[in-house]
Structures are given as C-alpha cells and as structure tokens.
Structure 1
C-alpha cells in the first residue's frame, strides 16, 4: 500500500499542475511529506491543506516568498495576524466587486429605461430631484469630455484644472476601489446660453457621483424642480429638443432658475451608433410669479 499520494495524484486532486508542485518543492515552499521504501516521495492529506492555503493566498496577491516566510515561522500568533490580513484583503475585494456590481446594475437600468422610451411621442415633464453631487471640470478640457468634444467652451470657464487631473485627484481622495461610484457623464450649460440659442456651449463637464461616496472636490447639483426631456441621438441635433423644452416652460408659466444639465444615460462608451445615444436634459425651473 502506498504511504501517500504521488505528484500526479496530488496535482489531479488539488487542481494544480505537476510542474507547479515541483517548482514549489524546488523553492522550499512545500515538500512531499513522506519518503517511500522505493525512494519515491509522497504527499499526505496535510499537504493538501497547505496547497489549498497557497492557492487562496495567491488569489489575495501574496507573493510566494512571503508565503514561505509565513509557513517557516508559523505559530498561533503569526497565523492569527495573517488571518486578519487576509480578511482585510477579502473585504477590500468584496467592496470593489460590490461597486462593480452596482455600476453594472445602474447601466442595465439605464439601458432598460431607454429601451422603453418612445422618443417621438414623449412629452416634457417636471421632476423633483434632491441635491446631487458631480465631479466637474471647468477647464479647457471640457471640450474633450465624452460627446461634447466638438463643442466650444464658454469663455468664462476658459481656466481651470483639466478633467483628467481633477478625476485623478478625486480617485486619490476616494480610493481607487471607489472608482465605480462615478456615475454617468454630465454636461452643464448656462441659462444665458440656452436662452440665446447657443446650445453647443458647455460651461462644465464631468461625472455624476453616485452611492454614498463623498468628495470635497464634488460640486452640488441643486435639488428642486426640473423640466426634463429625453433626447435621442447625437448632440449635433439637440436644438429641437431644447426648443420643445423652452416652449413647455413658457406655456406652463415657468422660468429657468439655474444651470441646465445633460445626463448621458447611453454614451459613446456604450455604443458607436448615434441613434442609440440617449441624453436626459434637465432644466432647473420654478413657477413664474406675477
């Protein structure tokens, strides 16, 4: 009867290659525990436990050299400390995966929402929004952001930090694992430009900030009443959508109170087909007083 498991058997049972087992043996990470009468070395069940530990430590990013140190000096306290380190790594990965999951669910929601829209028959409507946060760049790089790259930046916002630099600052503050708290792209336009028929002059651009993440670099998108309309297609043909909204505002005795926000629900990062692009136009309004 064999005193243990051969390299081939161990490789099959533990789903690991025989070459990897031989490499671990060579660097002293783990050796076969039993020497048979025939001179062959065999692995025992206890070795399987070490191999499984190596596999999940690799998944957590621990180098083999650090594993060897851990195994060589293992004692209850050292193992306990390693458990806590592993928990920290796992919790970090769980947080990142949860963020990715929420982002995917948001994107699916936007796609489902826009799939069910009849853009030809839709009517402008009033929506109430709470205060929201956005990461906005008021610099020359505004014209490079997403679908507004061909538009001209308002002259009064010709200075400022580039969006790329601003975003890097925000990610450093939030932590890279919170990258997925960045929501859809947003473009901000001034009331005066819209009323003057200059629909292609963004004063700022960036991304909505969603979830519970906070940043002292975020700008508040004020809550309140907004006249809203979905625009389908590229930004080059937004004038008609804006004219519909402005007529609605006038007909309902409303007045524009602040900036105009374009939320890119289906953006160029999602599709190369212009007809599939969808933007939600939101104009801050209030009832006109006599």
Structure 2
C-alpha cells in the first residue's frame, strides 16, 4: 500500500481492521496517540501510529493486556538505561502466567475426558447387558487413599465429604471413578460395618505416604447393573463361578463405581465393577 503522512480515524479503522471505538480507547490510555488538526480539531494519526496497530494485535494474540504492553511499546528504560528490562520482565511474567493456565486446562481436560470415558463405558455395559464373570489382568496404578469405617451407607461413601475434605487438605484434585476397597467381601455380603479404603486417581502428583498402588495382578471381575442394594447378587455370582472354575478368592474386594450418584439419580442405570483378587486352586 502507499503510505502517507496523515490518516483519519476512519482510514486507520478501515486499513487496519480495527474499530473506531478501540482506536479512541488506545488514544485515551496513551497506547496509540492521535493528533488534532488545527483547522477543524479532527483526530488524525501519523504513519507511525498506523503501524503500531499490527504490533498491538500481535501482543494481544500472545495474551498481553493493554496496560501490560504499554511500557515496552513505549520503550521505557531502567535506571541503567537498558530498554529491554521491562520487556523481559513482562515476558517472563506472561510465560509463568501461561504455564499456570496451561496446567489448569490440562487438569480440566483430563477430568472431563475421564468422566466422559466412564459414561461411554456404562453405556456399553448397559446396552450390551455385560454381566458375565471374567478373570483379567488389572494394570497397576497409583491412587490417593483415605481409610474410613463403612457403616453401610454406600451413597455417603461414594459422595464422600470426609474424602473430599482430605483431597483439599493435601492440595490435590481427583479424577475418574471412586473405588472402595472393602477389607472383607464376606462382611460386605452381610452388610456389616467394616474398615474400608476410599481410593481415587489424582490430577496432581501425590506424596508417597498419600498414595497406594492398586492392580498389577489377576483379578476376577463382574459388572453390576442397577441399584447397589442388589449388589450381593453379583458377589454371589462371582463366588459360584470361582468355585466352578476352581479359583480361590482373596479376602478383600474392590468396587469401582463407573456411574453412580455423581452421574445420575436413576439407580437402575448405575454401573459398578466388582473386583476380587484371585488365584488358581
């Protein structure tokens, strides 16, 4: 394009694809200063002001606010006459800010993705009525854990206020399904009170004393569809299958809540995976 010495606000707006309102605001805060005509007091811009618009757009693309970019656009110098000090300071601060934002988005994405995967899993289990007993290798994973006493209130154990408070206390965030490790699956069958361990994966690294490893071994598993009040039926199915196929069940059991009170109030659509350590007779 052919450049000239003076541009009206309308010309700058059209050439640089920026609103007149924005240009007036830039003028007001001293970011792109205009001059006034002696003849009619109209606002006009120099060639230098015109070329400042793409620079501002680029800094905005990087996430800088107008007040943040003002110092280094104006070329502020420090006490030793160095012009790049404020620029480096601003960019270092922006890098730190964006790293924090990137980490926050990562955690949010992972949490939403894990939840979405659970919904897909539950839908597949229900649509195909998958309730067969199977033996499979469960990959080892680390979980944040909290020891409690189970008082036969399964809803309060899954939506667990005490565990939620503990997660906040250790400055962490949770993701994926809740797991409850029952110290005795036989006591679970009889609805007895017993020590349990609440387990869930985290979005931040746990300290060593806060985490436990679950899996890394063969387990007998079976999906339970429906209310937790009838989960005894699935335990009995597992026990019968294990005897028939000469497997020895461990003492403890794990219940992995694929969908539950966190997802829906329709208990008929709950999906729970029951898992018990197993070995050959």
Same fold (TM over 0.5): yes
Question: Which secondary structure does the structure 2 equivalent of 1:271 belong to?
Answer: coil
Alignment of 1:115 onto 2:103:
no
Matches within 5 A, 1:90-105: 90-105=98-113
CA distance in 2, matches of 1:258, 1:17: 74
Distance 1:22 1:265 in 2: 55
* TM norm structure 2: 0.74
Aligned to 2:146: 137
For residues 242-253 of structure 1, what are the structure 2 equivalents within 5 Å? 242-253=235-246
Offset of 1:168 from its aligned partner?
1.1
- 1:156 counterpart residue number: none
Distance 2:99 2:14 in 1: 30
Q: Is 1:215 matched with 2:207?
A: yes
* TM-score, normalised with respect to structure 1: 0.72
Pair 1:239 & 2:247 matched: no
Offset of 1:281 from its aligned partner? 1.3
Q: Can you list the C-alpha shifts for 1:159-210, whole angstroms capped at 9, x where unaligned?
A: xx9313320133x2x5xxxx3x632212221225447533775612242347
- Is the counterpart of residue 52 in structure 1 residue 57 in structure 2? yes
Query: Could you tell me how far apart the structure 2 residues matched to 1:282 and 1:17 are?
Result: 65
Distance 1:233 1:45 in 2: 67
1:132-281 map, 5 Å: 132-139=141-148, 148-149=155-156, 162-170=162-170, 172=171, 179=173, 182-191=175-184, 193-194=186-187, 197-198=190-191, 203-209=196-202, 213-216=205-208, 217-281=210-274
The alpha-carbon distance between structure 1 residues 233 and 7, as it changes in their structure 2 partners (threshold 3 A), is farther
Give the number of the structure whose alpha-carbon radius of gyration is greater: 2
* Higher strand proportion: 2
- 1:148 and 1:235 in contact (8 A); partners too: no
Aligned 8 A contact 2:181 2:253 in 1? yes
2:80 aligned partner: none
Shift in Å at residue 278 of structure 1?
1.2
Q: 1:40 aligns with which of 30, 42, 45?
A: 42
CA RMSD in angstroms, aligned pairs only: 3.9
The answer on whether the counterparts of 1:14 and 1:48 sit within 8 Å (CA) in structure 2 is: no
Aligned-partner Cα distance in 1 for 2:114–2:157: 27
Count of matched residue positions in the alignment of Structure 1 and Structure 2? 265
Task: Report the secondary structure of 2:125's partner residue.
Answer: coil
1:135, CA displacement in angstroms? 1.7
Secondary structure of 2:53's counterpart equals: helix
Q: Unaligned stretches of 5+ in structure 1?
A: 154-160
Deviation at 1:253, TM superposition (A): 2.0
Q: Mean alpha-carbon deviation: is it higher for 242-251 or for 195-204?
A: 195-204
Q: Does 1:6 align with 2:9?
A: yes
CA distance in 1 between counterparts of 2:19 and 2:252 reads: 59
Query: 2:188 and 2:248 mapped to 1: Cα distance?
Result: 11
- Residue 7 of structure 2 aligns to a residue whose secondary structure is coil
User: Displacement, 1:113?
Assistant: 2.4
The residue number in structure 2 matching 1:158 is none
Q: Take 1:107 and 1:219, find their aligned partners in 2: how far apart are those partners?
A: 22
